Structures are given as structure tokens and as C-alpha cells.
Structure 1
Amino acid sequence: MPAPPLDDRIRSRTGIIATLGPATIMPGVLKQVVEAGCRIFRLNFSHGDLEDHRRNIRDVRALEAEMDIPLALMCDLPGPKIRVIEVAGDGIDVEVGEEVFFDRDQSSPCVRIEQEPPVLGCTWTGIVDCVKPGDRVLINDGAVRLLATEVSDGRLQCRVTTGGLITSHKGVNLPDSELDIVVPTPRDMELVAWAIKNDVDLVAMSFVRSPEEIERIRSIMQDNIDGTGHERPLPIIAKIEVPPAVASAEEIIAAADGVMVARGDLGVEMDLAQVPIIQKRLISIARKLDRPCIVATQMLQSMVDAPVPTRAEASDVANAIFDGADAVMLSGETAIGRYPVLAVETMQRIAHESEAWLDSSDMVCCDPVDDSDDQAVDDTHALVAGIHSAARSVRAKCIVVFSEWGTWSRLISRGIDSLPIVAYTPRQSVVRQMLLCRGVIPELMEVVPDEAILSRDAQHRLADVGWIDEGDAIIVVLGRPLKHDNHSVRITVHRFGDGGRA
């Protein structure tokens, strides 16, 4: 078995996710992005076709084999994103006080006719039925703002409250309206069935509003799992980006396998001043429920065009890490930006410095996880607390865990200690999925070991890369899959070089 990748000694504990796009398909860029510290790549299914995504998957897997470093792929489903249809020319410029119509039957490119209010079409014709007078209609992330005034004869009439340019395919947000939209959409269902058959590791679900929607996606994957090589559905990351999801956050996160704080639409759908508070709350809930959390959107947005981020952006990344995020995500910075490699290097540097400050100042990245009223969860947390307590008592250099499905490595990573967690599993897909958990360094071990074999192999491999010296302690954890009524794990302390065990 190969030794743990040397770069994992200096790579930040916080994961970095890079969105694939035109900027990353340039020769050599993808490899440089990995060398800069990225281990998870996002496939944005809102853009590109399946052939583009198939090529990106092929390129990432080829690079994974070449560099002998596990790399995860996360597909991001488009969800029921509402957009303006094609707008002719350079777009339609609207001014404050002007009238704008949405027409149910408008399908041809929208053209402005002189002396007449502009008439727009929408990818979702239900906008005419669900938007009521007094509701806001926001276009292009709120850059253009309208207020609905009347609905009649298949048309929604609006008044412009903030003017600007309306161009083709810009997003439409309806924060005040109750939308009669089924999630997942038919397109989501097609794409998730395609993803599980095409070597994707994680699924991000957009515009989630209820835990039942999570279960629908999981059921679709289960129905399409035969012949894929997967034994269970892919982990689902719930994107919290609309008010109903914020209201039901705890139930949604409990139903999902992870959560993404999707601040783009969240900042449009809700008061911008509330977004930082919502972010902290979502990270806290995720930690309480033992789910990994991603913070996303505009983290280093200025680096789309500039080689250096703003000071506010650097602080934004650091504060997400201080709050306990497992991963931070780059979107346009790596998909279409001029400096994709530099953006990853910058995020890696901010993460590394933030974590170093936490370690040196004895600060913790977040509050300890609260006890739960659920007895089963309490038992598991007690075992995890025991693992961290033992590690502190013997000043262990790291925690080594055999985690067949990644459960114990994920639970241990919820602790507030900064020790690296070297996690072994016999499943390549689980190796990749564990990359999402903060501080976990996943490794493939094709045989299920006993405690002596796991300890011996781990000690030699860690010594080979300079992680441990003679007499240093490591904590070795062997857990069995969690049952509803039986929680047990074997915890031993090993010191390198003397064959001892405490």
C-alpha cells in the first residue's frame, strides 16, 4: 500500500472545493489546482452539457490515477431555477417606475418595441399563477427589482423599483411567493440517475425546501443503483438557499448527509443582513447533527478578475473556518476566472494560517457539540469524547481509524481538537467521500484489518513520512457499523518503536 500523500502534512484541514469550467480545462491547469490543495471538484449541472461533464470526470479520474491522490467529484443539480428566456440583442434596459410584463405564452426572444412596455418570457410559466400583487420579482440576483401590481389574461404586470439591464437567461427570484414547484424536478431526476452511473461521489441538491425532497432524490438513486458498483446511494448535500429551507433547516440537515450554505440565492431571497447569522446557525446545526458543512458563493469573488482578493474576502474565508466549516468552495473563481490556480493557492494559504492561529492560541474552531436528548446519539458522542480525551491525555500525534463506510471518521472529525485523522476504508468511493470531512486524511486499505495489523501498518507509514518519532503515541480506533441499539468501538493507544499499548 502506498504511503499517505506527503502534501497532506501541509494541506489545510479545511477542504477546498473548486468548480470545474472553461478556466480549468486549459492544459495543465487541473493538475496545478490539485497541487495547490484542492481535493474536491464541483460539476455545475446548471451549465454545460453531459458531454462536457463526462469529459471533466474523465480528466479528474485520469489525474487521480497519475498523481495517486484521491479526488472527489460533486455534482450540483440545477433544481427549479427560474430564468428569463432569450432576450434579443444586448438586452432590455428598464428604468424605475416603468411597467414590465411577464407573459405566459411568450416563447420567442423578447424584443423591446418602442413606446410599449417590455414583455418578458420565463422558463417557468407558473410565475403568472403564483406571484400576487405586492410580491417582489428579482432579476439577476436582485440587480433589477420589480414589484408585482396586477395579474390578468395570462400576464403578470410589474413596476420597476430598481432599474438595470435585463439580458438572456438571468435568474428570477420570487422571495415573497408560494411556488407550486415540485422538487426534485424531472431534469434533476434524470441528472442524478446519470451521476450515479458516471463515477460521481457526492450530490448537491439545489433549492431544497423539505426533508421529503431529500428522500425523493435518495430513492431515485436507489432505483438506479444496479450495475453502478455502488452499494448504497451517494451522499446528498442539501443546499440551503430559500426561506422555507432556513425555517426547516434542522429537519433537512438531519435527512441529508451534509449541508451547503449557498449564500448566492440565500442573499437574494432573504435580507442580506441576515445571511451571516444564518451561516453561523447552519454550521452549528450541522455540527450538532454530525453532518459536514460547506460554505459557498463569492468567497474570493474578486479573484475572477484580480490576482489578489479583498481583505473582506480573506476575512470571510477565515471566519467560515473559525465557525467550523468542513470545506469552503470556489465557484466562478475557478470555473471562469482568470486566476483559478492562484485562487486555490490563496484559499489554501488563508485556511492554513487560520488553522495555525487556532492551534497556537489554544482557540477552538467552534463551540463543543451540544448533548442531544436522543439517547443513541448521546452514546455515540460519549464514545467520540472518549477518543479525544485519550488523545489529549497521551499527547497523541494523530488518530488512526478503520471506517468501512466513513461513519466513525466523520463522527471523530466533529471534535474540537486539531489532531489529524488518518482514516482507512476498503472502498474507493468512501475514500473520496471522506475528503469532505474536516481534518480527515482518507486512505484505501483493501483488507479489513484487526487492531494489531492496523496499528503496525499505520505506525510504519506515518514514520516513513515523518509524522511520528520513537515513543510517539497514536490512537487506533476500530469501530463496527452503528446499529440502532448497540454502539461500540475499540480504542487503543500505541507508541511507536516499543510495541507498547496503553
Structure 2
Amino acid sequence: MKTTIIATLGPASREPATMEAMVREGVRVFRLNFSHGDAASFADAVRDIRAISARLDIVLTVLADLSGPKIRVGELDHSPAHVVRGQEVLLGPVERRPAHDLDALFLPFDHPVILSELKEGDAVHLSDGMLRFTVVRCVEPGAVFALRAINGGLLTSHKGIAFPGKFISIPALTDKDRIDLVEALDLGVDAVAMSFVQSGRDILDLRDAMEKDGRVLPIIAKMEQRAAYDNLQAVLEAADCLMVARGDLGVQCPLPELPIMQKTIIDACRAKDKPVIVATQMLISMVDNPAPTRPETTDVANAILDGADAVMLSEETAIGKHPVEVVEYMASIAQQAEAYGLKKNGGPLSPEGREDPERTLAYCACLLADQTDSTALVCHTRSGTTALRVSGRRPVQPIYALSPNTGSLHMLNLSWGVIPRLVDRKHTSHLRRCEAFVQACADFAPGQSVVITAGQKTPGRMDLHTNEVKVYYKG
């Protein structure tokens, strides 16, 4: 399988045996949702991930997903709560809860600026738009409002709440995020996802915060705001990876626009050879059911065929009844979609005439692998750029990305078709490191060929870039 599967950890998947089973089915990235926990609560999970990684000899990436200023309801009296169509619920600060109406479902919400602007007829969406309400009356001006449910469903504590049509100007990096970031870095996470991104400046603010702490990790920008979509190129330039977070994006924008927005974001990332993740409600029916719906399987396949590098499971693995089975289904769908996509491509994708020597070299390496019937592409990469370029060409062969830098390997787990492997610095020559890896790797049989990309020093250049492609036969 070439598509990366990201699984969100939660009560349903927290046992080490379950986590290992998920890895065996294809998970390579574990998401820690800081909207539902802090670094201390994730410490054991990180230790277990590292232990599984060492035991299976597979690079696993730990992704810290910061809460951001996503507006959320507070702690419900009883969670989960079942909401039925037509039911009235109350929204407002806990201390302003009406004493005469204690039987009504109360949604704690303490945002005075938003409440001061709320009025009858306004739309209110919860749980990524799965639950929709209308404001029907003001119980206490500027504080407590009665909402009527347009549809029914399950509501849990701390779910996101949105007010379509109302612009909320708040910074993407909150005080809570800054605390969580420092603790996550101390915990040893490998990448950070930023919520509520609206501009490239938000990404730079997060990077500045990491620089002050002395460790800069790859940043995944979550595309869940209209402003982020409107500033797509600036956000893409600043971030290392984008996530199409369809839950919030679908709440903030008209639903009929969402499929094209998803495709546009994927296309933009593909043009830059930057990884892109598609997330939210991909196999959501499997929270309860042992198999996905037919539209869900098509949704996952289409995301992969559009060019997504990774697909993410949220509630499906965090609180669902079938965390391992949902990964198995996701992997099976991905394999089918990949086979069709590779056949349809008819070979590696060209760089489309861009004047970029690195992309051209990557394309040539993929063509050479096809023409020599090579088993794999083996890329030495320090920063990960070479492997990204090769991944962008979508070769049939697996891409082994070799690096002495663990940080680069963890980020490469997000890229399509890439198998990250750590190499030591015993050999100073990048080419020699690749050859030694091939000789020692049990994945290659004697006599099989691989195509190697590496960097060699050349006269007149002080820096070291990938500048060599070689067909290597294992002895």
C-alpha cells in the first residue's frame, strides 16, 4: 500500500495490542488530539508507539494536533447526549444557566463576543455540522439562547460549534496551544498540526514559537476556514503539508462547494510536491457498524485518485467499535484505488515542463526504474526533498527513503509510496550508504535491480544536492 493511513488515538484504540494491530494493517501515523487531552495524558501512548516501532522495525510518526481557537461547547451534564429533531436546547455560560429550566439539555458556551451578536434565526452547527440548530428565542439577552434541533444525532462534550455567516477574528495560536506545544515538544512528537489557520502568517507564528523552544518540527496546516482557502498559495508556501479538514470546512463553506475545494487543495499540493491529507468522516459509519457504506468507500477511493498522499481516521479509531477493522477496510480501498490510478497513469507523471532539475531527475529515475524492471527506487535524502520529488511522480515501485536524520523520516511517512528507513553515517558517501542498504535489506533478492538517487560532491559546488541516478544490481 502506498497511501498513508493516519489514525487518531482515543479510548477505543489506546491499548498497545490494538495499536500494534492497526500498524500491521497499515497505520503509519498516530494523531494525538490535543482538543481531548494534554501531553501528560499522551505520554504512555507515545512510549507505546516507540516500542511498537522498534519491535516491528517500522518508522511510526506521532502527530500532535493542536486545538487552535476552534470554538467549542463545554462539558455536558451527560455525555454523550442524544438530540432528537425538534428538541430545544439551551446555549450559554454555565453560571447563567436558568434555574427554572434545569431539565433542558444545556450546552455550556462562554464566548461573550459571539453571544452578544447572536439573534433569532441564526444558524448554529455542532459536531462538524452533523447537528444543526436554529436560534428560536433569547432567554437572557447576550447570554442564553434557546436553539431548536433541525436534525437528530449524538452530541459529546467539547464538540466544535460554528456560526455560519459570522466572521470571528481571533489568532490561530492560542495560549493553550503555546502550552501544549512546549509540552508536546518535550514529549518528543514528530510533527504538529495547526488548527484554524487563516493565513501564511499563522504558520510562521507557530514556527517562531518552536524556534524559541529550540526544536522546529514539520507543520501541517489544517484547511478548515474559508480564509485559509482564499489564501491557499500563501498557506501552502509556509506549511510542510496541508490537511483538507472537511468537517469544519464543510461547516464554514456551502456544502456544494466542498468537493471542488478539496480537489483544488490537492491539486495545489501536487504541483508543489507537498503531501496532502484528506480527513473527516471518511468511514464514519464504522464508528458503530462493522463495514462502511458504499458512498464512503467511493469517497476514500476518489480522494486517493485525486492525488491525496494520506487519509485520516478520526472518530472511527478514537471512539469507534471497530478500530482495527476500519483500518483494514481503509487499506483495502486504498490498494484498489492505487492499482487503478497507476494503470490509468500509464507510467510516472512528468513534471509538466517545469524548469526544475530536481523534479526532472526524479522523473528520469522513475522512467529508468520502469525500463530496467527495477524492484524499487532507493533515495538518499537529508531533508526529505528528493523523496518528495520522486513521490510526486507516482512511480509503480516503492520508494525507500534513506536518511540519517530521524526528523526527515517521520515527515516522509506522510508522503505517497515512501518507506522511510534510517541509515547510519558509517559511509560518508551517500551512494555507498544506499548500496550498503540494498545489500543488507531482505526486501531485495540477489540479482534484482534498484534505481538509486544520491548526491555526490562535484567541483565548483560547496553544497551537496541529489545529482546522480544509478541502476544497482544486488550481489
Q: What runs of 5+ residues in structure 2 fail to find an aligned partner?
A: none
* 1:50-89 paired onto structure 2 within 5 Å: 50-88=39-77
Query: Could you say what the CA RMSD is over the residues aligned between the two structures, in angstroms?
Result: 3.4
Q: CA deviation at 1:85?
A: 3.3
Alignment partner, residue 382 of structure 2: 404
Q: Is the Cα–Cα contact under 8 Å of residues 135 and 177 in structure 1 kept in the other structure?
A: no
Aligned partner of residue 146 in structure 1, secondary structure: strand
Choose the corresponding residue for 1:450, options 429, 438, 451.
429
Residues 1:128 and 2:106 are matched in the alignment: no
Aligned partner of residue 13 in structure 1, secondary structure: coil
Q: CA deviation at 1:87?
A: 4.7
Q: CA deviation at 1:486?
A: 8.2
Alignment partner, residue 100 of structure 2: 113
Q: CA deviation at 1:33?
A: 1.2
> 2:87 & 2:414 partners in 1: Cα distance?
48
Residues 1:475 and 2:452 are matched in the alignment: yes
Residues 1:331 and 2:309 are matched in the alignment: no
Aligned partner of residue 67 in structure 2, secondary structure: coil
Residues 1:137 and 2:124 are matched in the alignment: yes
Q: Which amino acid aligns with 2:236?
A: I
> 1:363 & 1:333 partners in 2: Cα distance?
34
CA deviation profile, 1:83-105 (whole Å, cap 9, x unmatched):
2334546869797697x8755xx
Classify 1:394/1:182 alpha carbon distance in 2 versus 1 (closer, same or farther; 3 Å): same
Classify 1:169/1:426 alpha carbon distance in 2 versus 1 (closer, same or farther; 3 Å): closer
Choose the corresponding residue for 2:229, options 224, 239, 246.
246
Choose the corresponding residue for 2:249, options 266, 276, 288.
266
> 1:187 & 1:261 partners in 2: Cα distance?
23
> 1:81 & 1:454 partners in 2: Cα distance?
46
> 2:278 & 2:266 partners in 1: Cα distance?
9
Alignment partner, residue 185 of structure 2: 196
The TM-score with structure 1 as length reference comes to 0.83
Classify 1:74/1:109 alpha carbon distance in 2 versus 1 (closer, same or farther; 3 Å): farther
Classify 1:240/1:417 alpha carbon distance in 2 versus 1 (closer, same or farther; 3 Å): same
Residues 1:432 and 2:421 are matched in the alignment: no
Q: Percent identity?
A: 36
More moved, 309-318 vs 470-479: 470-479
Alignment partner, residue 209 of structure 1: 198
Q: Which amino acid aligns with 1:65?
A: A
> 2:406 & 2:157 partners in 1: Cα distance?
42
Q: Is the Cα–Cα contact under 8 Å of residues 88 and 110 in structure 1 kept in the other structure?
A: no
Q: Is the Cα–Cα contact under 8 Å of residues 391 and 399 in structure 1 kept in the other structure?
A: yes
Aligned partner of residue 440 in structure 2, secondary structure: helix
Alignment partner, residue 154 of structure 1: 142
Q: Is the Cα–Cα contact under 8 Å of residues 374 and 448 in structure 2 kept in the other structure?
A: no
Alignment partner, residue 413 of structure 1: 391
Choose the corresponding residue for 2:342, options 359, 367, 392.
359
CA deviation profile, 1:164-192 (whole Å, cap 9, x unmatched):
58775442102211213121111111111
Choose the corresponding residue for 1:459, options 438, 447, 452.
438
Q: Is the Cα–Cα contact under 8 Å of residues 116 and 143 in structure 2 kept in the other structure?
A: no
Give the count of matched residue pairs: 468
> 1:417 & 1:249 partners in 2: Cα distance?
27
CA deviation profile, 1:353-395 (whole Å, cap 9, x unmatched):
2222333455579x765556xx6xx343333333334334434
Alignment partner, residue 165 of structure 2: 176
Classify 1:469/1:130 alpha carbon distance in 2 versus 1 (closer, same or farther; 3 Å): farther
Alignment partner, residue 17 of structure 2: 28
Q: Is the Cα–Cα contact under 8 Å of residues 321 and 354 in structure 1 kept in the other structure?
A: yes
CA deviation profile, 1:229-259 (whole Å, cap 9, x unmatched):
x5xx100000001211121122111110001
CA deviation profile, 1:184-212 (whole Å, cap 9, x unmatched):
11111111121122110011111111110
More moved, 489-498 vs 69-78: 489-498
Alignment partner, residue 361 of structure 2: 383
Q: CA deviation at 1:350?
A: 1.5
Classify 1:89/1:158 alpha carbon distance in 2 versus 1 (closer, same or farther; 3 Å): closer
Q: CA deviation at 1:399?
A: 1.6
CA deviation profile, 1:271-320 (whole Å, cap 9, x unmatched):
22222211111111111122101111111111111221111111111111
Q: What runs of 5+ residues in structure 1 fail to find an aligned partner?
A: 1-11
> 1:186 & 1:321 partners in 2: Cα distance?
36
Q: Which amino acid aligns with 2:262?
A: Q
